[in-house]
Chains A and B, each alone.
Chain A
């Protein structure tokens, strides 16, 4: 099969490459770009470990062909760190509230939480649970994941208020 030229922006960086159209976005990110934050969990669009942000929407990158993402802007968990490399607010709150146990689901959880809080900066606990329903934690550590997202929302809102 002939390869197709793809050009996308990943974590603010322009990247280009040749890929078979059938290559999945998750494989392009991990194998071609070495961005291994997004994980391959179930590989059947159930678990959400491969979640990335694509043009402002959370998507499961195991169920998107890289050809579909041609021209798109992608953010992975790596792109949510502060510019100096320190943990971003959501990442820091996951650390603080022990929002991870084995850590496998964490990149997907944090990336999804980022989009959820962009759309709904002040969610109720119920809205957080509904909003992360596409991400599974097999350690079942949901309590602290939800706490971490609620704490991140509070801190982001406080920072926004302080800036205004």
Chain B
């Protein structure tokens, strides 16, 4: 499988990368880990004339653990997330989720920025970022702006990011001490996207619940979160099943997916509650 030809750019900073995007408009795509884009290019379902490889841009790297928030550079790989001890202490749910993404080789290349920016409903990080109430920083020709993960996703592969913007950083508020957490996923096999996955945070009188691959965007439910915050597990599950909108595909019919969603969510809640304290 040979992709269509393209011109390759490897800029050293974000400003130069944006300049290439501005010059070539929707003919250009940024390349992070490439494990979503390159397969699409090999299938000729994507054929960008210009590819802007972000690997040399140092400002897109790094994980900073602050007292109130954690920031993660867009080019941090899933492997980096798993290996980072400070992150495992501050936000262990990220390691739990990252370990369930694809396989080791893909995790060495796949980045958190690519995972959240691509808008693929099958990706795990968008739902998790909604659960954590993360904020994305987008850099464009006119400077940077911030968009909440909960407001970023419009439809499958459609997001609030403009063609000439690059998602540069993710900022995640640190949950209060004692907050329980879990990321639970069922998939058919290693490397597959979720049949259903759930991200759950639960603390004293607070909760946040989001699910993955059960609609054309990740689904964070305010009603489900409020129910769980009040200790009402069945109310939480009912509200979430109301919020999701799965479609039939090779992972199963709608009724099965709703069933799986309920099972996965209950498991995630139970594990999160067992870790709260």
A residues near B (Cβ < 8 Å) are 1-2, 4, 20-22, 24, 43-46, 48, 51, 57-60, 63-65, 67-68, 70, 112, 116, 131-134
Contacts and interface: CB of A to CB of B under 8 A. Distances in A.
B67 interface: no
A4 B39 CA distance: 21
Contacts of A51: 105
Return the 9 tightest CB-CB contacts between A and B, nearest first.
A134-B103, A1-B5, A21-B8, A57-B108, A134-B105, A133-B190, A67-B8, A133-B103, A60-B105
Contact of B6 (A1, A24, A48, A58): A1
A20 B108 contact: no
Interface in B7-41: 7-8, 10, 31, 34-35, 38-39, 41
Contacts of B55: 68
18 contacts: A21-B5, A21-B6, A21-B51, A22-B4, A43-B42, A44-B1, A44-B42, A58-B105, A60-B105, A63-B39, A64-B38, A112-B105, A131-B104, A133-B103, A133-B190, A134-B104, A134-B106, A134-B190
A45 B8 contact: no
A45 B107 CA distance: 12
Contacts of B106: 45, 60, 134
B104 A133 contact: yes
B277 to A, nearest CB: 28
B61 to A, nearest CB: 14
A44 B192 CA distance: 13
Number of chain B interface residues as a range: 20 to 34
A58 B55 CA distance: 17
B83 to A, nearest CB: 9
B251 interface: no
Interface of B: 1-8, 10, 31, 34-35, 38-39, 41-42, 51, 53, 55, 79, 102-106, 108-109, 190-191
B104 A58 contact: yes
Contacts of A44: 1, 39, 42
B5 A64 contact: no
A63 B108 CA distance: 12
B1 A59 contact: no
Contact of B8 (A4, A58, A60): A4
Contact of B53 (A46, A59, A67): A67
A83 to B, nearest CB: 27
A112 to B, nearest CB: 7
Contacts of B10: 67, 70
Contacts of A46: 191
A133 B187 CA distance: 14
Contacts of A22: 2-6, 41
A76 to B, nearest CB: 14
Given A45-B35, A45-B39, A20 B105 contact: no
Given A67-B53, A112-B104, 7 more contacts: A22-B2, A22-B3, A44-B1, A57-B109, A60-B105, A63-B109, A65-B8
